[in-house]
Amino acid sequence: MKKLTLLLIACIATICIAQDKIPAIITTPGELDAIKGHVQGACCSDSAIYLSHAGGIFKLDWNGKVLKHTELPQHTGDICYYKGRIYDSLSNPQGFNLMVLDEDLNVVGKYKFPGGDGATVLNDVLYIGTGPCPSQPHRYSSISTFDLNRINKAENEQPKDGTAIDLRNTFLSKMTLDYGSETNYGVQDFANDGKYVYAMFYAANGGDPCVILTPDLKVVRTVRFDASTGFDFLPPSRNKSSNPRFFRVRHIGEWRKQNAKTQPAQVRIEFFEIVDGNFINITEN
């Protein structure tokens, strides 16, 4: 009888999750044509969603309407939002690998930094994917952590000539991962749920891996889940569940041409909930 009761409770919980859907967010065709290239990363605040492209960042409201965009040096990588700032990890030949922007996409800092494509902040620690990032299949990649408080202190020290500040002295730690299968490039996207760090990769043979890590970069497990073109966890103000919820970004339309007439660039933003370690799709339509 006890087992039957527990089973019924589990079924009811599953039904409740299934009923609590979040409508997909789909951008208007052509609104994302202002910046050429695919979506690289995403982050969000209580009031906005931010999408990074190879050449810049878009700011959207939670209905998918584009509010603003700014073009940035290529290659603009993954982005994360933390306490009113957007941290952008770049692979940039101009000599800086981290840019910091405010919520309205104004650049407030340029820093020389070992950089890659992934970025997230947890407990005032900045996590950056630091390669190697070869296009050929490989099994190893590194993640480095940096002291965010030291980085923020340098914001008021920006040189007037626009050159970047060298902040390698903010380095805290580095871990090299063997994620158990071959991948292309380095970490594509980072996010965190306040407890764990999630790193997304491109798998060489499909089935992209999501590596879940503790804050001190110990591997918890790997999940096959494709979110390598942008994802982030919802802020508490937008999460009605006691479980972590996140969104991922999916491409729609033509991304290789600017102002494509037949298939203008769009994105579809889908929502998921993590229940007992499983990624449950809770997207409506």
Structure tokens at 83: 């306490």
Model pLDDT for residues 67-95, shown as the tens digit of each residue? 999 998 877 889 999 999 999 988 766 66
pLDDT greater than 70 at residue 131: yes
Tell whether omega for the bond before 73 is within 30 degrees of 0, i.e. cis: no
Stronger pLDDT, 70 or 4, i.e. the higher one: 70
Please give the domain boundaries of the chain with CATH numbers for all domains. Answer: 2-284 (2.115.10)
How high is the mean pLDDT of the chain? 84
| Angle formed at CA 70 by CA 67 and CA 72, multiple of 5 degrees | 155
pLDDT given at position 101: 95
- Which tokens hold the place of 1? 């009888």
Report the pLDDT value the prediction gives residue 96, as an integer from 0 to 100: 66
Residue-wise pLDDT tens digits, 16-28: 444 589 999 999 9
Contacts of 251 by beta carbon, 8 Å cutoff, 6+ apart: 38, 39, 229, 265, 266, 267
Give the span between the Cα atoms of 192 and 121, in whole angstroms. Answer: 8
Q: Which two tokens stand for residue 246?
A: 């996140």
What would the mean pLDDT of 221-239 be, rounded to a whole number? 92
The confidence score (pLDDT) of residue 12 equals: 44
Distance set, CA 171 to CA 100, 143, 168, 244 (Å) = 17, 11, 6, 29
Strand bridging mode 76-82 / 209-213: unpaired
3-state secondary structure of 67: strand
For the record, the structure tokens of 79 come out as 């982005």
Which pLDDT band holds residue 33 (cuts at 50, 70, 90)?
Answer: confident
pLDDT at 14: 47
Give the residue with greater pLDDT, 264 vs 52: 52
Burial of 84 (0-12, 13-18, 19+ CB in 10 A): exposed
Confidence (pLDDT) at 16:
47
Alpha carbon distance 145, 105 (integer Å): 24
pLDDT for position 5? 46
Give the residues across from 275 on adjacent strands. Answer: 278
Q: Which residues pair with 68 in a beta bridge?
A: 59
Tokens 């799709």 locate to 281
What residues contact residue 88 under an 8 Å CB cut-off, 6+ apart?
52, 57, 72, 76, 77, 78, 79, 98, 99, 100, 101, 119
Task: Please tell me which residue, 67 or 179, carries the higher pLDDT value.
Answer: 67
Reported as a pLDDT band with limits 50, 70 and 90, residue 50 is very high
Q: What is the pLDDT of residues 153-166, one digit of tens each?
A: 887 787 877 778 88
Do the beta carbons of residue 283 and residue 271 sit within 8 Å?
yes
> Tokens 């959207």 — which residue?
60
